Amino acid sequence: VDRFPELADLAARENLWFHVDAAYGGFFLLTERGRARLAGIERADSVTLDPHKSLFLPYGVGALVVRDPRTLATSDASGRYLQDTDDLGSYAGLPDYGRLGPELTREARGLRVWLPLHLHGVAAFRDALDEKLDLAEEAHRVLRSMPGLEVPWHPELTIVGFRVRPHDSSPEARHRADEASRRMLEEINASTRAFLSSTEIDDRFTIRLTILSHRTHADRVTEALEIIAAAAAAVGGR
C-alpha cells in the first residue's frame, strides 16, 4: 500500500490532484486492520473502488468516488431536451447521473451493490474480509517456512509475494532464480486447482498469491500451499 499521508502532503504542497487506485484494496476499510493500513486515503481527491473485487460482488460495478461531485459534471451532454437539469448534475436536488458520467441513460448499477449490503449487512462483508486477511497472514507464515523460497514482504492486505531464493547475490544467480520462479508458476497453475499471477518487484520475477474470492477459505489455501510446496520441490528450490 502506498504511503498515503506522504503522497497527500506532496499533492497539497505541489497543488496536484491526489487520486488513489483502491480498486482492489478499498473495501478493506471496513476492517480494523484495513483502516490502519489505508490511513490517509481520506485525503484523496478521488478514489477508484471496485465492489467486484474486495466486496465480492458481480462485475460491472466499478466506481470512481470524488470529494466534489462537480468534478464529475460533464458538459458534453447538452441539448434542448436536457434543459431541465443544471450543470452541476442535479435535478430537483437529486443527483442527475446523466451529468455525472459518460452515459446519459444508464442502468441502476448501484442496486447491485446496495441490495447485498442491505440483505447481508455490512458485518458479513467485514467478517469475510477479516477472514481473507487472516488467510493471507497464514499463507505468508507457511510460505516463509518453505526451503528455497524468499518471501520478502509481510502482506499488508491479502496479496503475498514470493519467489525462488537465489544461491548468491550475483546477477547470474538472480537470473537463474527468476527462471525457476517462472517454471514454478507454470507448475502451480498447471494444477488447475489454484491460479496465481506474477509481477516484477526490484527487477525480480515475483509470484503473487492473491486471496480475495468469497469462495476461498482455509481448505483452499491449504491446498494451494501444498501445490506451491510441490512446485518448489519440483524446480529444486532453484
Give the interface with ligand PLP as residue ranges (CB under 6 A).
21, 23-24, 50, 62
Nearer to ligand PLP, 23 or 44 (CB): 23
Q: Shortest approach of ligand PLP to residue 22 CB, angstroms?
A: 7
Compute φ and ψ for 124, nearest 5 degrees.
Answer: -65, -40
Q: Shortest approach of ligand PLP to residue 23 CB, angstroms?
A: 3
- Which residue sits closest to ligand PLP, CB atoms considered? 23
Which amino acid is present at 49? L
Q: Shortest approach of ligand PLP to residue 62 CB, angstroms?
A: 6
Q: Shortest approach of ligand PLP to residue 53 CB, angstroms?
A: 7
Nearer to ligand PLP, 24 or 91 (CB): 24
Nearer to ligand PLP, 96 or 158 (CB): 158
Show Cβ contacts of residue 202 under 8 Å, excluding neighbours closer than 6 positions.
none
Nearer to ligand PLP, 24 or 97 (CB): 24
Q: Shortest approach of ligand PLP to residue 199 CB, angstroms?
A: 11
Q: How far apart are CA 209 and CA 199, in angstroms?
A: 11
Grid cell in block for residue 85: 437539469
Show Cβ contacts of residue 115 under 8 Å, excluding neighbours closer than 6 positions.
none
Nearer to ligand PLP, 50 or 178 (CB): 50
